[in-house]
Amino acid sequence: MTPAIEVTDVTKRYGNLQALAGVSLSVDPGEFFGLLGPNGAGKTTLISILAGLTRPSSGTARIMGHDVSAAYREARRALGVVPQELVFDPFFTVREALTIQSGYFGLGDNRVWIDEVIANLDLSDKADTNMRALSGGMKRRVLVAQALVHKPPVIVLDEPTAGVDVELRQALWRFIRRLNRDGHTIVLTTHYLEEAEALCGRVAMLKQGRIVALDKTENLLRLHSGCYVELRLGGALPQQLEALVAERRDDGAIRLALPEYAEVERVMAALREAGVTVQEMEIMQPDLEEVFVQIMRRA
């Protein structure tokens, strides 16, 4: 089976800056794949290489088997990218912008699909509005629509929900989930790690141009075998438990980080021995954000 995305030993230098340092990964058709990392990790550089906007210093990148340099026309037809920046043409309405975008890919009559995309992204009442008159959230919806207008088998979403309202975020994810169910490959970069945890079957984590983790999301979550205990106490926390404190909240709650679940009993025993009553207690599993922080620290 031909990978939807195949990146092999890709490097990219900008003068003395090493943006990518030998990145290799493969994304299967139909996957929902997360590409995570702190600012400056190389995510946008990698996306720019996949989109043909930047040439790699070395290595190869392919979209649906098409080399992004040697077979750039085929590679670009197979890819739709939602950029992080708000880039738009101020001279056209939403519908005109999508019709022109269709023309770039040789689609002469794409009205039915354009209408469907407009409806699914809640742009119907703005379809004949000039792009300049749209809010930032509406412009981002149009960017998503432009990436989807030629029905690419591979869709890359670079921070698609940055600065948008909850309603748009929910509508966008409903539509993207549907496209993924229909067989489209989705690659997501986001700083909202709860989105990646909920949506992505696999995740790659980048730091300083290198992949430092690449696995199924569920396997990454298992890397952290411990748990958190959040307590509200009717007294002071015993001294022997101070080393476990991960956070003290302004509302009086104390969060303890435990290396394993068996430590919960030791915490309760120490509280009983000190005569401290427990008013509230919640045991929480670590999320992808916590795993991400740990991996970045180790890397």
pLDDT tens digits for range 236-245: 999 999 999 9
- With H, G, I as helix, E, B as strand and everything else as coil, classify residue 4: coil
- What superfamily would CATH give domain 5-221? P-loop containing nucleotide triphosphate hydrolases (3.40.50.300)
What pLDDT score was predicted for residue 249?
87
What pLDDT score was predicted for residue 290?
79
What pLDDT score was predicted for residue 42?
92
Quickly count: other Cβ atoms within 10 Å of residue 206's Cβ.
27
* Chain mean pLDDT for the chain: 89
Quickly count: other Cβ atoms within 10 Å of residue 209's Cβ.
23
In the chain, domain spans: 5-221, 225-285
What pLDDT score was predicted for residue 159?
84
Q: Given pLDDT bands bounded at 50, 70 and 90, which one contains residue 225?
A: low
- Tally of residues, the chain: 299
- Helix 111-120 to helix 136-148 angle (10° resolution) is 140
Q: Name residues whose C-beta falls within 8 Å of residue 223's C-beta, 6 or more positions apart in sequence.
A: 291, 294, 295
Q: Tell me the percentage of the chain whose pLDDT exceeds 90.
A: 50
Closest CA to 191 of 163, 213, 210, 227: 163
For 34-57, what is the mean pLDDT?
92
CA atoms within 13 A on the CB side of 110: 23
Can you tell me the distance from the alpha carbon of 246 to that of 212, in angstroms, rounded to the nearest whole number?
25
Phi, psi of 164, deg, nearest 5: -110, 160
CB 190 within 8 A of CB 84: no
Q: Give the global pTM.
A: 0.79
Architecture, CATH, for domain 225-285: 2-Layer Sandwich (3.30)
- pLDDT tens, position by position, 20-43: 999 999 999 999 999 999 988 999
Tell me how far the alpha carbon of residue 91 is from its chain's centroid. Answer: 31
- pLDDT tens, position by position, 181-201: 999 999 999 888 888 999 999
